[in-house]
Structure 1
Amino acid sequence: MLHPKIPFFACITLLSFLAGCSAERNNVISKTYHNTTARYNAYFYAKNDIREVKDIVRGTYDNDYNRVLKIYPEIDSVLADSYKEQIEDCIKKSSLVVQRHKNSKWVDDSYVLIGLARFYSLDYVNAIETFKYVNTKSEDDNTRHLALAHLHRTFTDYEEYNNAIAVSDYLKKEKINKESAKVLYLNQAHYYQVQGDLDNMVRNLVKAAPLLKKSDGKGRIYFIIGQIYQDLGFDSEAYNYYKKCIASNPEYELDFYARLYMAQVTELGKSSDLRAARKHFKKLLSDRKNKEFKDKIYYEMAEFELRQGNIDGALDYLKSSVASSTDNNRQKGQSYLRIGQIEYDSLAQYELAKLYYDSAVKALPTDFENYEKIKQRQEVLADFVTQINTIQLQDSLLELASLDSVSIMNRIDDYLAQEAEKKKKEEKRQEQAQKRRQFDLRNSDSGIGATSWYFGNPSAVAMGQTEFQRIWGDRALEDNWRLSSVQSGAVPQDAPSDVATNVDIVDGVPEEGLVQDAPAENRAAQMYSQIPFSEEAKGMALGKIEEAYYKLGNIYYFNLEELKNASETFDKLLTRFPESTNEPEVLYQMYLIGKELGTDTEKYKNELLTKYPNTTYAKLIANPNYTEESTAANEQLKIVYKDAYALFREGDYAASNNMIDSALNKFPETVFTPRLRLLKILIVGKTENINLYQYQLSEFIKKNPDSDITPYAQELLDASKNFQKKQQRLLGTKYVEYFEQEHYFIFVYESGKGLADELSSQVEAYNDNQYTESELKTSNLILDDRYDMVMVAGFTGKVDAQKYYNQFIKNKVIFEDSKNSKFYKFVITKDNFNIFYQSKDLDAYLGFFNKYYTNGL
């Protein structure tokens, strides 16, 4: 029943209005009602949710002002969870607009908010579909364009870069309003930042800047433009944009960095300009509002001094930056890193550089730009310093070994005396410093100003502390603190406690692994004991130096990518060690380095092809397609090997051997070829005598030093020799007087005369000519350090062997008088040859031979 005070016609009007506001109607009243209700209710709250999400993302981002700031902070799942409530509320409110206000003009805008909510929750797939839906269904071009602008960023963050470019290309053809243009330019700049294209990035930011409001972070964009121009070398443009940033009245931190960087890009033409720039930095330092930024100011002062060529001044400021950093590990790590770079690149203080890199990696956050590369260099420098120290130490030891004992002890005594004096001075200095600190603390407690005092100046004290920690490390305040295991001269502040110099060489006197607080006479004895006096010890020292040069060259080449240093190091290696086992690989790398540097490579190419024609390195130079061709051949050889090995296991050695020979003749040499050659040697071990087996294993090891199966071949050789030794112990040195067995003819000659190939060829030619129907086999063997020998196998018994022996001498197969060598000839049974080859006693067997073979002949 109607209230008596409400007029009848008013009720009729109200009911008519409500009926006209149905979401299904399209009249003016309905549209007005739903547009108003949607905008100021659900859409309003949904848009606020997105604004809150953006504020959370911006608020949690740790700006790294040492790099070009990112247009958009990175979003991860942990961050997304922190605003999950706002995302859900945004989608809920936006969905209400879609469901209850279908004829409202805010429906498409609500879909855009849903797309943004899904984007910020990292649901890229559904965000993409939502923005595409708006572009397809919306009749409002402005909303379509805005959705596509947001789609561009979504594709970028989803790493669908081609699609992002396609969206950008499409919108370039469209006439878009300022709001959409602003979003598009920022998102295109974001895309180019991800791609590392600073030039196109700044072009888009310059277009976006006039469209921005202060709430859009206009000052930040001005600052980023200034940073990019500074990186690109346009200092005057950078200066102007830093000035615009300051004029936009940004937050204090951004204002501070803009003023700081303005000093960097100020044109310096006169000494007065330099003084003005330095004065500007000092003014920033003295401003109390900049207390928390002192580490950054010192860092920029260091960069400024570096540009003026003042390395010492830059290092001092960087150490002050480290000392001033409290909670800012990012800046502290960057300062450590910069010191490490200077020590490495400019001062060649590699051990110091390594320790500062250690501290940098410890301090820097893992999201720091190029953190993995920095960490990699830190790890590489550890190995690098080890090789440098090895070379220095061993050279120092070898130099001392060339002196007489009196000179050596004099040098050691001088070193120990200098060290003692240095420690005494340092102790005195630290005692005085400690007294001054205590005095300063007492004055501070009593309220007496001490700003004019060194220890009343926090910056000066900080620099002093940093210098102390660089020299002595971070040591506890305790008795005998100087006797810490950390050696002097290279430990920066915050370096890991276990870091210390591995080698200390002063004036040619090495110290490695010595007890630092031992009595002087004990330390002198320890140092003396390290000197390599014997030839064997000198050889070991030279071997360590050779290996260190090889590793150092590889570190320069592969890890540090310093081609010139790599080339110089490899050149030192080949000059000092011309017979290095690494020569083929080093020559090849010198060839590659020369090609990259554009220097002469022919000498390395020719030397490699001449001296090592059968190596993989030579084949890679001779045939650029060698890798591809050898890969195809490899696959074929693997099949052959499988079948040949199966025959070997079954005991069909002849068939296996024939299959291997056929493959070796058919296919080119590849990395798999040594496996076939080793299998062929295993067949020899099963079918021939043990000495030929051992000889071929030894030759295989010499010819294939870099093969992955060479260690296995060495194991086989060692096992065979150990077995032979056991047999020798059982048999003794007594020769077996049983002659009805296989015999060999042996021709012994002096080694080192270059006769091996010539003699074996002459014997083989003689056999082919005179014994065509006999299956005689000719082999080369090493007897010992003095003698080598040619062995002819295939005589069934004593009679055949003796007959061959007589004919060989009668025909004078070898013209011995012209060979400048002693020669011995005899025949021997298979069993006795094993005993002879193990005992190496030539005279003993010649006596046995004369008794049982030549007497009565």
Structure 2
Amino acid sequence: MNCSRSLYMRAWLVGLMMCSGVLTVFGQNQAPDKPQKQEDRRPPSEKMAEKPFTFKRKVVQNTVTRYNYYYHAKLKLEAVLKGINQQRQDNYNVFLPFYPFTVEKLNLNSNDLDSVIQKASVAVQIHDPRGRWIDDCYLLVGKAYYYKGDWENAANTFKYINTTFAPKKKSEYNTVVGRSEDSRMSISTREKEKGMFSRLRHKSARNEAFLWQARVHLEQKQYDEAQSLLNILEGDPYFPKRLEGQLAELQAYRFYKQGRYAETIDPLIIAIKKGNSGRDQKARMSFILGQLYASQGILDSAMNAFRNVISYKPDATIDFNARVQIARCNTKANGGSMDESIAALQSMLRKERFIPFRDAIYYNMAALCANEQPERALDYLNKSLKIESANSLQKTLTFKGIADIYYSRKDYAAAQRYYDSTAAVMGPDFEEAALVNTRKEALGEVVQRTRLIRQEDSLQQIAAMPPALRDSLLAQQVTAIRTARTTPEKEKGRERGGAAANNPAFNNNFPNNSLAPKPDEGSGDWYFYNVGSKSSGYSEFKRRWGNRPLADNWRRSQGAAAAFNNNAPAPGTEAPADDVAANISQLPADSINTSVLAANLPVTPEKLAESRGKQMDTWFELGKLYHDKLEDPREAIASYDSLLERFPEHPRKAEILYSLYVWHNKLNHTQQANQYKQMVMTQFAGTNYANILQFGLPKDESKEKTNAVSAIYDTAYIAYLTGRYDTVFQLKKLADSSYGYSSLQPKWDLLEAMAIIKTQSDSAGKAAIAAIINKYPGEPAILNQANDIMEALNRKAEVTDYLSRLQLQRDSSETAIVDENISIRYPWQTPQPQFAADSAKIAQAQADSLAAANVPPPPPPPPVTPYRLGDEKTAVPHFVVMYFNRVSKVLVDEAVAQFSRYNAEKHAAEKLETSSFVLTPTEIMVIIRLFPDEEKALGYFDEAVRSAATVIIPRIKPTEYKFFIISRENFILLNNTKDINGYRKFFGDNYITE
């Protein structure tokens, strides 16, 4: 009964729900819905802008914007910058960075700066845009983007401030371009700087935004744009005086970044005097001012600037370094002396506040006497190393100071050890990191080869002894080695090899060369006596086996066998096969006997020839190392001179003589260079080296070598065209050291000379071109181009003077009037003779033209183009080019960045390079290189055309660029002709139909 009732109730409820559903549907069909109210999704700032800006609203909005958002965002940004300043370690021995940070190397947590942007952006979005602090919030956003290194957003933010918050009153001006005031351009917002409450009035952020916009230009190395803006502000009659110090600071920063140190001094003085950048920054700028004066030799002013640093009472580090710089300047100033300056530094050692800087004090004492008293300097540097300090930069400087002294004394083994220590402790931002790494690696190779040469000398001398004397000497050495293995460490330094050290056979004179062992070196060069070898062997023994008790046959015991299995040497730690001393030092003492030592002696003619061959190869490599990696041609010359003295019939004598000619020529040793040149011409006539001297190019060059050098030359040529002259010098050195002399050597030398003209003085450029003219008289193309460049250099002053005095006619709108039919002739050019026209010839020509008017014109001749297709059988390097016309540089930079990222992901194995290239002021190209042949370039071309708009550069419109491929030779022609349309037609006719 109960069950049936429950079922009945359930059925009734279901029916009721269905009926209600039907009624609902029926009701919906009968009556339409009411229109829903549209939601206003605009930000609160836009809604507020439509309401009246009453006094009450003005007070509330300004107060809330300033203290709830702007104030906290500003504090956050200041905390971020303060943290940067505390973490940085500056090297006060070189020019300081202008600011206590480098934007590219801030390594900030982007979340901190994003928090600043978010706080300031929220203030802009939710508050009335007519408030006074809205522009200040935008300024904070731009600064945060600046410190993030996001130049595009930073520049756009500052531009937005300058345009949106420009004055709108009729009494000022209604445009953002500017106005003329007393023949002076004005773009600033005028501020009321007089009156009792002038300092309390809110200042517009627009004038400061101009300065930050110029600062962004400087960070982007857009020096012309920055200079234009700063010059306008400097002459602006309404630019506020409160910002004059910041304006002068940016002027000084511009000169400083460009390396124009003499021009930096005047604006820097104004920035220190009028600026409001704070005590620490003023102390820093005063320190830089002292460095600038010192670099110009104005020592009295330099010392005054450093004293001003102390007067600002800055942090202890810059205060200490200012006192050190005063001591250094006093050494060079009139009336000063080195001893007086060292005494001043020694007095600082006794003061408690300078205890944290004791290592730096000793270092600077060493720096004062390093040139005149190197031994005394080494003593100070060693004292600096003994002081415990957490200053890794100072440790780096001290290690490098010791290494530099040993390097200058040609003690390359010691120098290599200390350069290695320098590299171990230096940070990634150390100014001379590249020099340290280069010398460390090169000197390591030099020391290894020097040791090998001396070792083979010792082995050859022992092998030349009578057998009885040699056996006696070997027996004595076996005893000495076994004794050395069991002698305590403190007694090892007194061992000199026993009676064998006084053996007259060992004291025979070595060959006369710079690598011969010296009696006062404190160690024997013979590998059995060498204390360094024994010490390294003992250290290696301890590393492998630990502290072993004095026991016979310890290695054969069960415990030793287990230890042996657990302490196997790591792969790659074995001694080189040629290093006899190291190999013997690794052997256990009980396994060394006279047979083991005698096995390494060159007692047979074959072994003697092998030993001499090692020496010849090592001497040859040593000379190349000195010249190519250490850039020390004098040591390279000494090595090759010794090589020819020891082995006058060296199989590579032609190359050695030619190298000696080149190195002497580089040092302006004309007589010696001509001597070696004559030896190459007479003794090795017909060789490539003789051909270079006689004709300027080698013969019988391999195709692989030509292609490899050509690829490097193409990269260097593009680097020259894009203004990267340091890259040109690096690639030239790379080609010389890797491939030697090639058929492209004349072009290489000319390209290097052209880069010298761009980077050095006029006299250096003329000397470089003169060297090309003298070196390649048999190369007409190179010679003609060099002569043209030389003529241009000689006429430079005359052309500059002529153009400075040139006056052009102008029309009423001050536009220059130019007659395209008039050819410009400079005053030094010879005028072309002009002949009077014959009236009869003129009449005949007119009659002929009338007669020809009735004749149908002939078909137009085919267009003449300088571009050529390459040989299908020969692989010609190609570039893929993305061409822009009249676009913003921002788009070009974005294209370079996006293609570089795309190539790194999709074409990493091909090692493609991407860079921009300015063909004309309005035509810019993005070049992707280098493709080995036309087929690879066309494949990438198809891929780029398909993927550019959607994958690689989606933010750039396809209508703003075009793609094409071009061979290396055609690219050179294109750069000369500037005919981009002509090449695009050539590309469309021969490669692909557009």
TM-score (norm 1): 0.57
Q: Once the 2 structures are TM-superposed, how far is the Cα of residue 206 of structure 1 from its aligned partner?
A: 3.0
Q: Distance in 2 between matches of 1:138 and 1:132?
A: 10
What amino acid is the match of 2:147?
A: Y
Task: Confirm or deny that 1:134 pairs with 2:161.
Answer: yes
Q: Distance in 2 between matches of 1:503 and 1:263?
A: 52
Alignment of 1:329-478 (within 5 A): 329-346=392-409, 348-405=410-467, 408=470, 427=490
Q: Distance in 2 between matches of 1:408 and 1:271?
A: 64
Residues 61 and 632 of structure 1: CA distance in aligned 2, closer, same or farther (over 3 Å): closer
Q: State the match for 2:286 in structure 1.
A: 222
What amino acid is the match of 1:552?
A: L
Q: State the match for 1:572 in structure 2.
A: 642
Q: State the match for 2:612 in structure 1.
A: 542
Q: State the match for 1:533 in structure 2.
A: 603
Which secondary structure state, in structure 2, belongs to the residue aligned with residue 80 of structure 1? coil
What amino acid is the match of 2:314?
A: P
Q: Distance in 1 between matches of 2:149 and 2:333?
A: 51
Q: State the match for 2:324 in structure 1.
A: 260
Contact residue 23 and residue 101 of structure 1 kept, 8 A? no
Q: State the match for 1:728 in structure 2.
A: none
Alignment of 1:647-726 (within 5 A): none
Contact residue 423 and residue 436 of structure 2 kept, 8 A? yes
Task: Confirm or deny that 1:551 pairs with 2:621.
Answer: yes
Q: Deviations over 1:569-596 (max 9, x none)?
A: 2233334333323233333333332332
Contact residue 24 and residue 102 of structure 1 kept, 8 A? no
Which secondary structure state, in structure 1, belongs to the residue aligned with residue 584 of structure 2? coil
Q: Deviations over 1:525-559 (max 9, x none)?
A: 54444332322222222211111111111111111
Task: Confirm or deny that 1:93 pairs with 2:120.
Answer: yes
Q: Distance in 2 between matches of 1:532 and 1:429?
A: 29
Once the two structures are overlaid, the 10-residue window that deviates more, 378-387 or 236-245, is: 236-245
2:368 to 282, 287, 304: 304
Which secondary structure state, in structure 1, belongs to the residue aligned with residue 430 of structure 2? coil
Task: Confirm or deny that 1:65 pairs with 2:58.
Answer: no
Q: Number of residues paired by the alignment?
A: 565
Q: Distance in 2 between matches of 1:504 and 1:293?
A: 46
Q: State the match for 1:770 in structure 2.
A: none
Q: Distance in 2 between matches of 1:306 and 1:369?
A: 20
Q: Distance in 2 between matches of 1:294 and 1:422?
A: 40
What amino acid is the match of 1:608?
A: V
Q: Distance in 1 between matches of 2:581 and 2:335?
A: 48
Q: State the match for 2:910 in structure 1.
A: none
Contact residue 123 and residue 137 of structure 2 kept, 8 A? no
Q: State the match for 1:17 in structure 2.
A: none
Q: Distance in 2 between matches of 1:519 and 1:173?
A: 85
Q: What's the RMSD between the two structures over aligned residues?
A: 4.8
Residues 413 and 283 of structure 1: CA distance in aligned 2, closer, same or farther (over 3 Å): farther
Q: Distance in 1 between matches of 2:742 and 2:270?
A: 59
Q: State the match for 2:108 in structure 1.
A: 80
Q: Once the 2 structures are TM-superposed, how far is the Cα of residue 98 of structure 1 from its aligned partner?
A: 7.5
What amino acid is the match of 1:210?
A: K
Task: Confirm or deny that 1:607 pairs with 2:670.
Answer: no
Q: Distance in 2 between matches of 1:54 and 1:515?
A: 56
Q: Distance in 2 between matches of 1:226 and 1:151?
A: 29
What amino acid is the match of 2:341?
A: A
Which secondary structure state, in structure 2, belongs to the residue aligned with residue 586 of structure 1? helix
Residues 606 and 337 of structure 1: CA distance in aligned 2, closer, same or farther (over 3 Å): same
Q: Deviations over 1:211-251 (max 9, x none)?
A: 23434521222223233444554433332222111111111
2:630 to 554, 560, 565: 560
Residues 424 and 89 of structure 1: CA distance in aligned 2, closer, same or farther (over 3 Å): closer
Q: Deviations over 1:61-120 (max 9, x none)?
A: 2333343332221245873326x2454344533563577343345444433222111112
Contact residue 622 and residue 639 of structure 2 kept, 8 A? yes
Q: Deviations over 1:283-329 (max 9, x none)?
A: 3223333333222122112212314x221221122122222144222
Which secondary structure state, in structure 2, belongs to the residue aligned with residue 598 of structure 1? coil
What amino acid is the match of 1:299?
A: Y
Q: Once the 2 structures are TM-superposed, how far is the Cα of residue 161 of structure 1 from its aligned partner?
A: 4.7
Q: State the match for 1:588 in structure 2.
A: 658
1:146 to 173, 187, 208: 208
Q: Distance in 2 between matches of 1:193 and 1:583?
A: 50
Task: Confirm or deny that 1:319 pairs with 2:347.
Answer: no
Which secondary structure state, in structure 1, belongs to the residue aligned with residue 343 of structure 2? helix
Contact residue 226 and residue 237 of structure 1 kept, 8 A? yes
Residues 590 and 24 of structure 1: CA distance in aligned 2, closer, same or farther (over 3 Å): farther
- Structure with the higher fraction of residues in helix conformation: 1
1:110 to 134, 137, 143: 137
What amino acid is the match of 2:326?
A: M
Q: Deviations over 1:604-647 (max 9, x none)?
A: 33333444454444444334477999999978xx9xxxxxxxxx
Residues 471 and 387 of structure 1: CA distance in aligned 2, closer, same or farther (over 3 Å): closer
Once the two structures are overlaid, the 10-residue window that deviates more, 545-554 or 170-179, is: 170-179
Contact residue 73 and residue 116 of structure 2 kept, 8 A? yes
Q: Distance in 2 between matches of 1:399 and 1:429?
A: 26
Q: State the match for 2:888 in structure 1.
A: none
Which secondary structure state, in structure 2, belongs to the residue aligned with residue 338 of structure 1? helix
| Residue segments in structure 1 that go unaligned for 5+ positions in a row | 1-20, 432-467, 484-495, 639-668, 673-857
Contact residue 351 and residue 501 of structure 1 kept, 8 A? no
Once the two structures are overlaid, the 10-residue window that deviates more, 617-626 or 65-74, is: 617-626
Q: State the match for 2:305 in structure 1.
A: 241
What amino acid is the match of 2:272?
A: A
Which secondary structure state, in structure 2, belongs to the residue aligned with residue 312 of structure 1? helix
Q: Distance in 1 between matches of 2:379 and 2:533?
A: 12
Q: Once the 2 structures are TM-superposed, how far is the Cα of residue 428 of structure 1 from its aligned partner?
A: 5.6
| Residue segments in structure 2 that go unaligned for 5+ positions in a row | 1-47, 168-187, 190-204, 495-530, 552-569, 711-740, 745-994
Residues 271 and 262 of structure 1: CA distance in aligned 2, closer, same or farther (over 3 Å): closer
What amino acid is the match of 2:346?
A: K
Q: Once the 2 structures are TM-superposed, how far is the Cα of residue 513 of structure 1 from its aligned partner?
A: 2.6
Residues 471 and 412 of structure 1: CA distance in aligned 2, closer, same or farther (over 3 Å): closer
Q: State the match for 2:921 in structure 1.
A: none
Contact residue 156 and residue 191 of structure 1 kept, 8 A? yes
Q: State the match for 1:212 in structure 2.
A: 275
Q: Distance in 2 between matches of 1:362 and 1:620?
A: 44
Q: Which has the higher contact order (CA 8 A, sep 6+)?
A: 1
Q: Distance in 2 between matches of 1:354 and 1:524?
A: 34
What amino acid is the match of 2:442?
A: V
Q: State the match for 1:824 in structure 2.
A: none
Which secondary structure state, in structure 2, belongs to the residue aligned with residue 266 of structure 1? helix
Q: Deviations over 1:377-411 (max 9, x none)?
A: 21111111112112222223333344434555676
Residues 41 and 576 of structure 1: CA distance in aligned 2, closer, same or farther (over 3 Å): same
Q: Once the 2 structures are TM-superposed, how far is the Cα of residue 374 of structure 1 from its aligned partner?
A: 1.3
Q: Whose radius of gyration is greater, 1 or 2?
A: 1
Residues 605 and 504 of structure 1: CA distance in aligned 2, closer, same or farther (over 3 Å): closer
